[in-house]
Amino acid sequence: MYLDNKEFILSEIDCNYASAGEEQTFNICYGLDKNFLFGCGISIASILLTNPQAKFTFHVFTDYFSDDFREQFDLLAKENNTRIIIYLINCESLKKLPSTKNWSYATYFRFIIADYFTGKLEKILYLDADIACKGSVQELIDLEYNSNEIAAVVIEGNDKWWKRRAEHLSTPGLSNGYFNAGFLLINIPAWAADNISARAIELLSDPEVANIITHLDQDVLNILLVGKVRFIDKKFNTQYSLNYELKAVSTNPVQDSTVFVHYIGPTKPWHSWSGYPVSTFFYQGKEASPWRTVPLLEPANALQSRYAAKHFLKQKKTMEALRCWAKYYLYKIKTILN
Is residue 322 located within the same domain as residue 184? no
* Average pLDDT over every residue of 211-232: 92
The residue ranking higher by pLDDT, 186 or 98, is 186
Name the helix (H) or strand (E) containing 300. Answer: none
Q: What does the pLDDT read at residue 178? A: 95
The model's confidence at residue 224, banded by pLDDT at 50, 70 and 90, is very high
- Enter the DSSP assignment of 18: P
For 170-296, where are the alpha helices, taking DSSP H only? 188-193, 196-204, 207-212, 216-225, 280-287
Tell me which of 218, 236, 254 is where a domain ends: 236
Specify if 267 maps to a domain.
Answer: no
Is residue 117 located within the same domain as residue 194? yes
Is residue 307 located within the same domain as residue 216? no
Predicted TM-score (pTM) of this structure = 0.94
Percent share of the chain, pLDDT over 70: 96
Is residue 228 located within the same domain as residue 334? no
Q: What does the pLDDT read at residue 241? A: 97
Report residue 76 CA to chain centroid gap. Answer: 19
Q: What does the pLDDT read at residue 103? A: 65
Is residue 182 located within the same domain as residue 325? no
* Average pLDDT over every residue of 98-107: 70
Is residue 111 located within the same domain as residue 212? yes
* Average pLDDT over every residue of 233-254: 95
Which residues touch 30 (CB under 8 Å, ≥6 apart)? 36, 40, 43, 58, 59, 60, 61, 62, 126, 127, 128, 129
Amino acid identity, position 210: A
Is residue 203 located within the same domain as residue 338? no
The model's confidence at residue 4, banded by pLDDT at 50, 70 and 90, is low
The yes-or-no verdict on residue 112 having pLDDT over 80 is yes
Domain carrying residue 146: 5-236
Domains of the chain: total: 2
Specify if 97 maps to a domain.
Answer: yes
CA angle 120, 47, 127 (to 5 degrees): 55
* Least confident stretch, 36-45, 147-156, 199-208: 199-208
Beta bridge partners of 238: 261
The model's confidence at residue 76, banded by pLDDT at 50, 70 and 90, is very high
Alpha carbon distance 191, 115 (integer Å): 8
CATH number at residue 91: 3.90.550.10
Is residue 129 located within the same domain as residue 56? yes
Specify if 271 maps to a domain.
Answer: no
Average pLDDT score, the chain: 92
Cα end-to-end span (Å), the chain: 47
* Average pLDDT over every residue of 280-289: 98
Reported as a single tens digit per residue, the pLDDT across 296-309 is 999 999 999 999 99
Reported as a single tens digit per residue, the pLDDT across 7-51 is 788 999 999 999 876 668 999 999 999 999 999 999 999 999 999
Q: What does the pLDDT read at residue 279? A: 97
CA-nearest of 223, 42, 28 to 127 is 28
Is residue 196 located within the same domain as residue 329? no
Is residue 119 located within the same domain as residue 204? yes
The yes-or-no verdict on residue 1 having pLDDT over 50 is no
* Average pLDDT over every residue of 212-223: 90
Specify if 241 maps to a domain.
Answer: no
Specify if 258 maps to a domain.
Answer: no
Q: CB burial class (10 A; 0-12, 13-18, 19+) of residue 20?
A: exposed
Region of residue 64 (left: phi > 0; alpha: psi -120 to 50; beta: else): beta
Which of 96-100, 114-118, 237-241 ranks highest by mean pLDDT? 237-241
* Average pLDDT over every residue of 160-178: 93
Tell me which of 187, 211, 236 is where a domain ends: 236
Specify if 247 maps to a domain.
Answer: no
Q: What does the pLDDT read at residue 108? A: 81
The model's confidence at residue 173, banded by pLDDT at 50, 70 and 90, is very high
